[in-house]
A and B are shown apart, each in its own frame.
Chain A
Amino acid sequence: MSATLESLIEALRCLPGVGPKSAQRMAYHLLQHDREGAARLGFALDSAINRIQHCERCNTYTETSVCDRCQSDRRDTSVLCVVETPVDLNMVEQTQAYNGLYYVLMGRISPLDGFGPRNLRLEQLVARASDGLVKEVILATNFTNEGEATAHFVSELLKRQGLKVSRIARGVPVGGELEFVDSGTLAQALRERRRLES
């Protein structure tokens, strides 16, 4: 096997879930059946690596030093929503129920995997949340143990800066019938019930 082909196969293995066999299949496929696609892939990867960076304010991916959302003057600068990933950010955006700004952690704290606070850019979050305009930080990390651990650490960190911190609510989903809701969710919804004001 040529050295170039070998290094292509080796390079493809960096993708999650791709072992030596799949990498070899991909390499042969690209070379035999889709050279044009391979060229596009190579170009797209090259330009993505060179042009996509983290937004200086919200840490999400952007081609400019500050992303369009953070530059927009139609956003409410008094609330900052903290999410784990850009995908989570998109989900919150889709709700059209939130008009504030974001901070993307690009990960979560997972103690047993050795992934701790030092692996997240938390100094940048503290600086962002302390801009004087942010009045409330909403923690929208996942409701998994890792998401909770992350929320706990981040809330302790931000509360020490004198910031007001809140956590998104959890419970029975919209349109959810109790009969079909999983019992863990229902149990938590009962514990975190709220009083109806008269």
Chain B
Amino acid sequence: MRPVKVERQAAFVLHSRPYRETSLVVEAITRDYGRMALVAKGVRRPRSAMRGVLMGFQPLEITWSGKGDVVTLHNAEWQGGQPLLQGRALLCGYYLNELLINLLPREDAHEQLFEHYSTTLQTLSASETHDAAFFSAALRRFEKRLLGELGYGLMLAHDTSGQPIAADIRYLYEMESGPRIIADSSASAGTISGQTLLDMDAESFDNPVTLIESKQLMRSLMAFYLNGRQLHSRRLFEELADL
């Protein structure tokens, strides 16, 4: 049974939407209670103390009470120390939030994932001068750990027959099963090199080929688990690239 009142829980706002005249429904991820929905009453009033605080990507401590699907938010305090996300980092942040909203079931505590989300935001916010490869690597790491936490962990060290992955062999990654050796060793579409699998296992994304191949693999994995749902933030990335 969940406690009726929870005080000062570490949390991040993932998304919020207007509710009635002056309120918000806030979708948040909390350290000990997972993803949850909270009603924040009156916070859209001009002088509400919480008005500027309930912003995404900022470390908060929140206090709420109630039972059921939607609880009442009483207080949110900014914990500081983290610059606001800007530019490309901000779009990456939206992508993380969209993954969490779509894939993480409500009220399933994932403390590790919470910590990793928090660290990823810090990495993004401190990255004004970094290039696209830096952001890609941060996203791949997060995706991998997210899938692991959800129980969809990737098989990256062994192939489907139990043999260790060899760097110079190409594999076909089968959903919910793992990498299967393919006879034809040319880099055909949808296949992935053993080196990329090993790099992903070690979370090392320095090699440009690893970056490209891991992105393709993650894209098809995410599409599989999203089950037809489209990510708006990805579309925004594409629109930006098309300028």
CA distance A7 to B20 in the complex (A): 23
Contact at A117–B239, with CB atoms within 8 Å? yes
Contact of B239 among A113, A118, A143 (CB under 8 A): A118
Residues of B within 8 Å of A148, CB to CB, are 84-86, 90
Task: Give residues 163-185 of A contacting B (CB, 8 Å).
Answer: 182-185
Residues 128-167 of chain A, each 1 if its beta carbon lies under 8 Å from chain B, else 0: 0000000000000001110011001100110010000000
Residues of B within 8 Å of A117, CB to CB, are 236, 239
Contact A111 to B240, CB < 8 A, known contacts A116-B235, A148-B85, A182-B52: no
Contact of B55 among A118, A145, A187 (CB under 8 A): A145
Q: How many residues of B contact A (CB 8 A)?
A: 34
Contact of B97 among A109, A112, A143 (CB under 8 A): A112
> In the complex, how many angstroms separate the beta carbon of B129 from the nearest chain A beta carbon?
14
Contact at A113–B17, with CB atoms within 8 Å? yes
> In the complex, how many angstroms separate the beta carbon of A159 from the nearest chain B beta carbon?
9
Contact at A116–B78, with CB atoms within 8 Å? no
Contact A149 to B94, CB < 8 A, known contacts A109-B236, A182-B52, A184-B53: yes
CA distance A117 to B20 in the complex (A): 27
Contact A152 to B83, CB < 8 A, known contacts A109-B236, A112-B101: no
Residues 32-72 of chain B, each 1 if its beta carbon lies under 8 Å from chain A, else 0: 00000000000000000000110111100000000000000
**Residue of B at shortest CB range from A116?**
B236
Q: Indicate whether A193 reaches chain B with its CB closer than 8 angstroms.
A: no
Contact at A152–B91, with CB atoms within 8 Å? yes
> In the complex, how many angstroms separate the beta carbon of B93 from the nearest chain A beta carbon?
8
> In the complex, how many angstroms separate the beta carbon of B228 from the nearest chain A beta carbon?
15
24 of the cross-chain contacts (CB-CB < 8 Å) are A17-B20, A109-B236, A111-B91, A111-B232, A112-B15, A112-B97, A114-B232, A116-B232, A116-B236, A145-B56, A145-B84, A145-B85, A148-B86, A148-B90, A152-B87, A152-B88, A152-B91, A153-B236, A156-B240, A156-B243, A184-B52, A185-B52, A187-B80, A188-B84
Q: Which A residues form the contact surface with B (CB < 8 A)?
A: 17, 109, 111-114, 116-118, 143-145, 148-149, 152-153, 156-157, 160, 182-185, 187-188, 191
Q: Which B residues form the contact surface with A (CB < 8 A)?
A: 14-15, 17, 20-21, 52-53, 55-58, 78, 80-81, 83-88, 90-91, 93-94, 97-98, 101, 232-233, 235-236, 239-240, 243
Closest 9 CB pairs of A and B: A111-B94, A111-B233, A17-B21, A112-B15, A111-B232, A152-B87, A114-B232, A145-B56, A111-B236
Starting from the known contacts A111-B233, A149-B94, A152-B90, 14 additional A-B residue pairs (CB-CB under 8 Å) come to: A112-B94, A114-B232, A116-B232, A116-B235, A145-B85, A145-B93, A152-B91, A153-B239, A157-B243, A184-B53, A184-B55, A184-B58, A185-B52, A187-B83
